Amino acid sequence: MVMTKMSLTAKMKMCRHHLITTLLLIFGTLITSSSLLSNRREELITLLFANRKDVRLVTVDVLSGDLIDQSALETHFEEVTSVDFFHEERIIFWGDIGSETIKGIGLPNGSSDFPPPPPLSNKAVNIITTGIMSPDGLAVDWLTRKLYWADSETNGIQVSTFDGRNRRVLHWEDLDQPRAICLVPSRGFMFWTDWGEVAKIERSSMDGDNSTRRVIVDKEITWPNGLTVDYQTGRLFWTDAKLLRIESSDFDGEHRIIVVSENVHHPFAVTVVRDWLFWTDWTDRSIHVCNKTSGRDRKQVIGPNGNLSPLDVHVFSRERQPFFQTPCHIENGGCSHLCLLSSSLPGFTCSCPTGIKLLPD
């Protein structure tokens, strides 16, 4: 009987051991599967792009290069070339060089009452309709809710609030063909490309202070079309449609790196997120992706497709619009009209719309 009890005890211990081992294996498998799924989700990226006659949102898998989903937000435009967004309230803005306007639309589930009036709807509303000809570049300051744009026909860079009010011209001298524009609100920086007779990339404070304006790239550059900021690494990326390459530099235009230079036909716009660099190609009507540092792992995620003409492109994600507290968050910085971020202390400037003079107080 003693032997029997010992055998039963040993068997029970062995069963418990096998049960625990099995549970650990199952649990480990579940964790691994969950991790793989989590990593897989992180590779699904949503792109927003101007498609000439409409604006589209597409979801792509950068691991496989597959197109997962797409939708057209609005159709029957004349010539949409620039686009940007305000992710917090799910607002899309675009520039139409055919109708010479900047318009906006609120996506479903947005919380904005933009623009007052009319109330938010799924119909496009006019933002800028006068004094504009070719809004080739468009950029959203998501921290203070401002629109910046570059006009290659009026040769100016302007800013307004999201509803198109309080409009101000920031730069109008020594501009030839300003094209792309991007912002670094956390540092008060504004960058733009100019592909006129003297091609260049410039930087200034977001308040348009001329004393901060400087050319950061003017050598080995010809047709700088697209421009974007990698907020993670603090670097600029731009496309050159004449030299057929995509380059990167720091915010001073130094430490330049050629990221992509092979099998590029006509690179137009560019955007980045995490380790990935996306760009559109004017000639083959496509969107490509690669590693933003090495240029490897390259895939075509959109096109070529006779129905698509991808131009400006952005990664539609909160990651591209990180939040920072600014002086303009508190009672509009004490400003009556525009509170514009600045690269100089105290970090902002009170400005008035063009034609209105700022009083000393």
Contact (Cβ atoms closer than 8 angstroms) between residue 150 and residue 168: no
Which two three-digit tokens encode residue 64?
A: 């496989």
Indicate the average pLDDT of the chain.
86
Which two three-digit tokens encode residue 35?
A: 């991790």
Query: To the nearest whole percent, how much of the chain has pLDDT over 70?
Result: 82
CA 190 to chain centroid, in Å, comes to 14
pLDDT tops 70 at residue 34 = no
* Length of the chain, in residues: 361
Please name every residue paired with 52 in a beta bridge, in sequence order, or none if there are none: 80
Contact (Cβ atoms closer than 8 angstroms) between residue 94 and residue 55: yes
Q: Is the peptide bond before 118 cis (omega within 30 degrees of 0)?
A: yes
So what's the pLDDT on residue 72? 86
So what's the pLDDT on residue 76? 76
Contacts of 234 (CB under 8 A, 6+ apart): 250, 251
Domain regions of the chain by residue span: 45-320
So what's the pLDDT on residue 211? 97
pLDDT tops 50 at residue 117 = no
Mean pLDDT of 343-354: 94
pLDDT tops 90 at residue 127 = yes
Higher pLDDT, 126 or 114: 126
Contact (Cβ atoms closer than 8 angstroms) between residue 207 and residue 341: yes
**How far apart, in Å, are the Cα atoms of 78 and each of 54, 101, 234?**
9, 10, 35
Separation of alpha carbons 267 and 16, rounded Å: 63
So what's the pLDDT on residue 220? 97
Average the pLDDT over each of 40-54, 73-87, 220-234, 265-279 and give the range with the smallest value: 40-54
pTM: 0.85
Contact (Cβ atoms closer than 8 angstroms) between residue 221 and residue 208: no
Mean pLDDT of 105-123: 57
pLDDT category at 359 given cuts 50, 70, 90 is: low
Q: How many CA atoms lie within 13 A of 228 on its CB side?
A: 28
Alpha helix ranges (H) inside 249-291: none
So what's the pLDDT on residue 71? 87
At the topology level of CATH, where does 45-320 sit? Neuraminidase (2.120.10)
Separation of alpha carbons 51 and 161, rounded Å: 25
**How far apart, in Å, are the Cα atoms of 270 and each of 108, 112, 198, 281, 324?**
26, 28, 22, 10, 24
301-342 residue pLDDT tens? 998 877 789 999 999 999 999 999 999 999 999 999 999 999
pLDDT tops 70 at residue 300 = yes
SS3 state of residue 246: strand
Contact (Cβ atoms closer than 8 angstroms) between residue 304 and residue 281: no
242-254 residue pLDDT tens? 999 999 999 999 9
Q: Is the peptide bond before 304 cis (omega within 30 degrees of 0)?
A: yes
SS3 state of residue 207: coil
pLDDT category at 4 given cuts 50, 70, 90 is: very low
So what's the pLDDT on residue 13? 44
So what's the pLDDT on residue 42? 52
Q: How many CA atoms lie within 13 A of 15 on its CB side?
A: 6
